Amino acid sequence: MYNLVKEKLDLILVVGGWNSSNTSHLQEIAEQNGTPTYWIDSEKRIGPGNRIAYKLSHGELVEKENWLPTGPLKIGITSGASTPDKDRKCCWKFLLRYWRMC
């Protein structure tokens, strides 16, 4: 994660359970480095359209419109240690499908 936040990213998507201290720590690291960070527990939190429902580091669930900026993006995606790979991959595939529709 420390290497990921060193890169010049437009945003980081953190995937994992909301009661996971490991996943929470990943989000904190990204936020401390000033990168816009969105912590979601599944791809179902993305959409419809350019909307996302995500959890802030202090626990509040919020929704944001137009969370994906227009133009070319460099997105980091990571997940907690106990998050199944398929969950992270589903989020990545969803983003790719959405991006192709724009």
Per-residue pLDDT tens for 55-102? 988 889 999 999 988 888 888 888 888 887 887 777 777 777 766 554
Q: Please, are residues 20 and 80 in contact by the beta-carbon 8 Å criterion?
A: yes
* CA–CA gap between residue 38 and residue 101 (Å, rounded): 21
Q: Can you give the pTM of this predicted structure?
A: 0.84
Q: Distances from the Cα of 26 to the Cαs of 32, 48, 50, 69, 80, in angstroms?
A: 10, 26, 24, 22, 7
